[in-house]
Amino acid sequence: MQLFDLNQEYCRNIEREKEAHAKSALDEISYINRSTAKYHGRCVSTLYVPKMFTKEDVANFHSLIRILYGIFDKVISQYGKDASYRSLFGFQKELEELILRKMPYKSRIPIARIDLFYQEETKEFTFCEFNTDGSSAMNEDRELNHALKLTLGYQQFAEKYRLETFELFDSWAAVSLRIYGEIRGAKEHPHVAIVDFMESATNNEFEIFAESYRKLGAECEICEIRDLRYQNGVLYGTSGKPIDMIYRRAVTSDIMKHYDEVRDFLLAVKEDAVCLIGDFVTQIAHNKVLYRILHHPETQKFLTEEENAYVKAHVPYTALMTDRHLPYDEIKNDKDRWILKPLDSYGSKGVFAGVEYDSVEKWGEIVDAHQKEGYLAQEFHVPYQTKNIDFSKGADTDFLPVSNLTGLFVYDGRLQGIYSRVSRGKIISTQYSEIALPSIVVSEK
C-alpha cells in the first residue's frame, strides 16, 4: 500500500461523483466554521482530501524519533558539562542559568512537535523545525478529523479501508502526570496550571487539555503567566489556589522578552516550588542554532558514526548570518536554494525564502538586510507534492498540487500523533497561507 496510490484513489472517487463530494464538503466547512479550531477568532482552513499515512509510515516515524531523541539527549548532556560547548549556543546568561538547573524528573523533552519534509515515495525526510517549546495545534487535528467524517470521500474510503486517527489530549495529560509523579513529594491529585501569555494563547485548546487533566483526578486552571504570585515558598494561580504542576505553553523567547514581568513564576521555578513540565532545557533543541551545532566538529566528536550520518542526511546545512565562513555570494546568487530564519521565533515569523522572490536583486536586498545577529541561512528543501481539491467555492473547481509538511507530536520521546499542513506554493507557514489537513492512518480491513 503506497501513499501515492491512496491519494490517487481518493481523487478518482471524487472525480466520479464530483457534485456529491462538493456538497458534502460544505458540511465539512460548516462544521469547521462552528468548531473550536480557532486562533484569535480565525478558523482553520482545510482542503477536501485528507493527509493519509500507512502503518509503515508510522513505523518509520517511530524509528526516526528514536534516533533523533538519542542525539538530543547527548547534546543536552554535553551542554550541561562543557562550558566551551555551551558557548556555541550563545544563550544569554539568565537563560543559561535556567537551563542548567537540576531537573526533578528524567524527561528532558516531555512534549514536542517535530516538523519535517517527508518524501512519500522514497520515505526519505529532511527536518524543518524542532518545536520543543510551546508545541501546539492538537485541537486543529482533532476538529479537522471530526469534520472529515462528514464527507462522502471519507465515508467511501471507510467502506474499503480501516481509517484511524490520533488521540492527543488524554494521552498528554496522562504522560505529564506520570512525569510529575517522579518528583519528590508528588501529590496523588495535583493542582495543575496551564500557563501562557494569553495574548498568544490557543485558549480553546487549553480548555480541552484542562478537561483531560480533570478526568484523571487533577484540578486544572488556565493562567496568564504574568498573574502568577509566589509567596512563602508557594506559587499561586489566578484562582488563588497553590499550584503543584505547570504545563508550560509560554515559549522561552517570550519569557525572556518579558523577564521582569514573570519574576514570580521564575522564582518559583528556580526554588523548585513547582514542577515545571517543559523545563527550560527544551530550549537547547528548540532554538534553530542547533541545526548549525549538529554539524559542528565538537558535536561530531561525541555522536556515533550512525548518528553523524543521520545528521548529514536529514539536517539541512545551516549557518549563522554572521558566520565568518558563510557562503554569502552563493546565498545571494542561488536564491532558490536558501531560506533565512530567525534563531528563536515561532509561527514562521520573520522567515524569508528565496523561491518567493522574482528577482535575484530583490532577494539580494533581503539577504543584505539580514546579515546580522539573530538570523541564520539554511538550505531550502522543496516539499513533496500531492493532489488536492478546494470545494469552498463549489463543484466547478479543479485538482491542484499542494506542498506538504508533516509534524510529529512526540510525548516523552514517543510518537503520539501527526499534524499535517500544505500550501499551494513551496513555502508552508502561517505567513504564506498554510492550510491544515486532517491526518489519518489507512490500513487494509
Cell numbers linked to 85: 560547548
- What whole-number percentage of the chain has pLDDT above 70? 97
Decide if 406 contacts 420 (C-beta within 8 A): yes
Residue 140 has pLDDT above 70, yes or no: yes
pLDDT of residue 41: 72
Helix and strand element counts for the chain (H, E): 17, 21
pTM value > 0.85: yes
pLDDT of residue 348: 60
What domains are defined for the chain?
3-286+383-444 (3.40.50.1760), 289-379 (no CATH)
**Predicted confidence band at 42 (pLDDT cuts at 50, 70, 90)?**
confident
Average pLDDT over residues 272-291: 96
Residue 423: exposure state from Cβ atoms within 10 A (0-12, 13-18, ≥19): middle
pLDDT of residue 432: 53
**Predicted confidence band at 77 (pLDDT cuts at 50, 70, 90)?**
very high
3-state class of 109 per DSSP?
coil
Residues in contact with 227: Cβ distance below 8 Å, sequence separation at least 6, in sequence order: 238
pLDDT of residue 430: 57
Q: How many residues does the chain have?
A: 445
How far apart are the C-alpha atoms of 389 and 437, rounded to whole Å? 12
Q: At how many degrees (to 10) do helices 203-215 and 170-180 cross?
A: 60
**Helix H or strand E segment including 423:** strand 414-423
Query: Could you tell me which of 44, 53, 40, 14 has the C-alpha nearest to residue 147?
Result: 44
Residue 309 has pLDDT above 80, yes or no: yes
Query: Could you tell me which of 3, 2, 1, 133 has the C-alpha nearest to residue 420?
Result: 3
How far apart are the C-alpha atoms of 356 and 299, rounded to whole Å? 33
Residue 445 has pLDDT above 70, yes or no: yes
**Helix H or strand E segment including 15:** helix 3-16
- What whole-number percentage of the chain has pLDDT above 90? 85
pLDDT tens digits, 176-212: 999 999 999 999 999 999 999 999 888 899 999 999 9
Residue 349 has pLDDT above 90, yes or no: no
Residue 110: exposure state from Cβ atoms within 10 A (0-12, 13-18, ≥19): buried
Average pLDDT over residues 48-62: 98
Phi, psi (degrees; rounded to nearest 5) at 225: -60, -30
Q: Which of 56-65, 146-155, 221-230, 311-320 has the lowest mean pLDDT?
A: 311-320
**Predicted confidence band at 168 (pLDDT cuts at 50, 70, 90)?**
very high
Residue 96 has pLDDT above 60, yes or no: yes
Cell numbers linked to 165: 486517527
Greatest mean pLDDT among 69-73, 128-132, 316-320:
69-73
pLDDT tens digits, 216-270: 999 999 999 999 999 999 999 999 999 999 999 999 999 999 999 999 999 999 9
Decide if 357 contacts 366 (C-beta within 8 A): yes
| Mean pLDDT (the chain, rounded) | 94
